[in-house]
Structure 1
């Protein structure tokens, strides 16, 4: 059940988020902590898709690669991947109205996004866990934006997770297990005694960013924090679930063996997954990026001793929005929002101060090139051009929710 937020509070949050999104580079540079706090409170549903694009840096990525998705969209793709993707389409949120019908717009866009990724990263191809990730994104934004958001998740937030050997996820399983020793020694001891490898219970959690595990309202809140703070949120959620499932002798009475323990982890208690409880626990759990990175080096050393060098050379992961924006500083223009409605300005107000009158006399009448129309929202010629379909970079995709109208719906 969704946590009820009073309408007035929601409207206030929307107003604050609109201000942030319209001045995003300034907020990222000077008030990142405030962005983090607001992500922890939950992004307003009406702005969630747009906020995820800004947080992940996918908006800037799209601006830097205009037309790239359309180009990939027109290519046929590798039949090896297309068959697997096709088979997975109906499995993603089958009861959601977007994905309920075979060949419906949701399944078509999901196919297009996943196919485009196999062409964008042919060495990586397609991994089944990418499908639920892409599906969640498509519920919040058009196909082109969802594609670039998926790219950021795969390359910046969770690099190596979807490569063939799944080395990165195995390493993170060991990191999770090591962190559990500090968070819940009881759960750690029990899993060690039962010889249950982390890969058996955490693979779907981490690779699907809990989208197939938690109730929907909790998924959205976890993703809000994940896009802002990075993979540590995924670790924290995993640790909270383990702690509250296996973290006391009382809880362990009913799962003495390996089979019972695995069954318990597959059927988690709804109480611990409930939005308000889970989010609060995640916020309060003191697991930091530094701890994760320190543990990563330890586990990497152990891996090399037992398995040799990693076969998949992934870029280093970036811990959230701040790290991504610092690694790829956005040109200011890339973050300008494109207005959907253009209003012709009225006559310019007559300045009251004598000083400004004198200035205007000295300058003479403004030429049309310098007038309000040329600057942005005004001149009729400019407005007509901007309202033409080709002004939007999302207009060339077929059977897609990527038209100007749908962009308004999402953003």
Structure 2
């Protein structure tokens, strides 16, 4: 496939999305891989994440059913609050910390929506709350600011795709793979991070588990996720064989993400090498804006080099 990353035009996407009978998912995946215009991102993401089905005859009934499901979940939470009061306080605290410099996320209405969605998800799935869930939810609430049910269902599907990558064992496997690749592809930076005792730290756990949703500026996150969601849904298999057969749009989200993280470090290489311990950690947690299309292109170039050199 072409490695050009010009954003799909509104007319091209509109032609696919406004089909009367069936949305051509292959064409939609191909277009969205290159970036989605802001005004069309919400509708496109629902198809990419499987919240909306390609058959238009099912669209209205499915949409109503999903809205009803979320309304019922909200009513259940009013009767049975679900998470303990301590957990509710923890959720509130993390939500208030999320992007405090952006007005949208400082609004009480936005914070309440995020809290309800997280409480509903935890109540329904009986899973452990991870502070990084707030960062995964934030971009979805931003995109679906007018529809809480859509944000909830997209969050549910995203969590399904991340799956084992959010567990301790899954994160450990990703970290080992990433550090192996970093040592071979950027050996001087690897050594520098090791000397400063920053390599493999908490920043890396956040990078790998939560798709850079905390570290990148929001517009960069949205653009990156356009490509991530355009990948076919394949379960992550953290093995050398899986990475060596990686192909754009026919790989798991986590496979591409590892190479994207490497590409970002390569792009910031010179700046990172000039920072001391405290500055280095702060930089890794507050990445600058960058052209995510170019980052993804370089990620695939790094992957090609890894395969050619038989690093894994």
TM-score clears 0.5? yes
Q: Greater relative contact order (Cα 8 A, min sep 6): structure 1 or 2?
A: 1
Which residue of structure 2 lines up, in the alignment, with residue 326 of structure 1? Answer: none
- Residue 285 of structure 1 aligns to a residue whose secondary structure is helix
SS in 1 for 2:164: coil
Give the match for residue 133 of structure 2.
Answer: 130
Specify the alignment match of 2:236 in structure 1: none
Q: 1:17 to 1:128 in 2, by over 3 A?
A: same
The CA distance in 1 between the partners of 2:130 and 2:194, in whole Å, is: 29
What is the correspondence of 1:263-282 to structure 2 with a 5 Å cutoff? Answer: 263-266=282-285, 268=287, 270=288, 273-275=289-291, 278-282=292-296
Mind listing any 5+ residue stretches in structure 2 that lack a counterpart?
Answer: 1-5, 54-58, 232-252
| 1:121-270 map, 5 Å | 121-122=125-126, 124-141=127-144, 142-156=147-161, 158-163=162-167, 166-192=168-194, 196-229=198-231, 230-246=253-269, 252=273, 254-255=274-275, 261-266=280-285, 268=287, 270=288
CA contact (8 A) 1:134 1:150 kept: yes
Give 1:239 shift: 0.5
Structure 1 residue 97: Cα displacement: 3.6
- Alpha-carbon spacing, 1:96–1:175, altered in 2? closer, same or farther (3 Å): same
- Map Cα deviations across residues 74-124 of structure 1 (whole Å, 9 max, x no partner): 2221224322112222222334343323xx3211211111011101210x1
TM superposition shift of 1:192: 4.6
1:16 alignment partner, one of 3, 12, 21? 12
**Helix, strand or coil for the counterpart of 2:228?**
helix
**1:111 has 2:96 as partner:** no
Aligned mates of 1:245, 1:139 — CA distance in 2: 28
8 A contact 1:245–1:264 mirrored in 2: no
Partner of 1:63: 62
| CA distance, structure 1, for counterparts of residue 163 and residue 229 of structure 2 | 14
Larger Rg computed on CA atoms: 1
What RMSD over aligned residues (CA atoms) do the two structures have, in Å? 3.4
- Name which of 40, 61, 77 aligns with 1:47: 40
Mark the CA change 1:176 to 1:98 in structure 2 (over 3 Å): closer, same or farther.
same
- 1:276-295 counterparts in 2 under 5 A? 278-286=292-300
TM-score, structure 2 normalization:
0.72
Match of 2:25 among 21, 25, 28: 28
> Structure 1 residue aligned with 2:102, among 85, 96, 105?
96
Deviations 1:114-161 (A, max 9, x none): 011101210x132111112212101111211111111111111x1134
Q: Relative to 1, partners in 2 of residues 1:50 and 1:177: Cα closer, same or farther, differing over 3 Å?
A: same
Q: Tell me what 1:120 maps to.
A: 124
Q: Judge conservation of contact 2:33–2:226 (CA < 8 Å) in 1.
A: yes
Per-residue CA distance 1:144-186 (angstroms, 9 max, x = gap): 1111111111111x113445xx332222122211222343233
Q: 2:241 corresponds to which residue?
A: none
8 Å CA contact 2:139–2:222 kept in 1: the answer is no
Tell me the distance in 2 between the aligned counterparts of 1:280 and 1:41.
11
Deviation track 1:221-253 (CA, whole Å, cap 9, x = no partner) reads 11111111323342233102222334x6x963x
Q: Where in structure 1 are there 5+ consecutive unaligned residues?
A: 1-8, 299-411
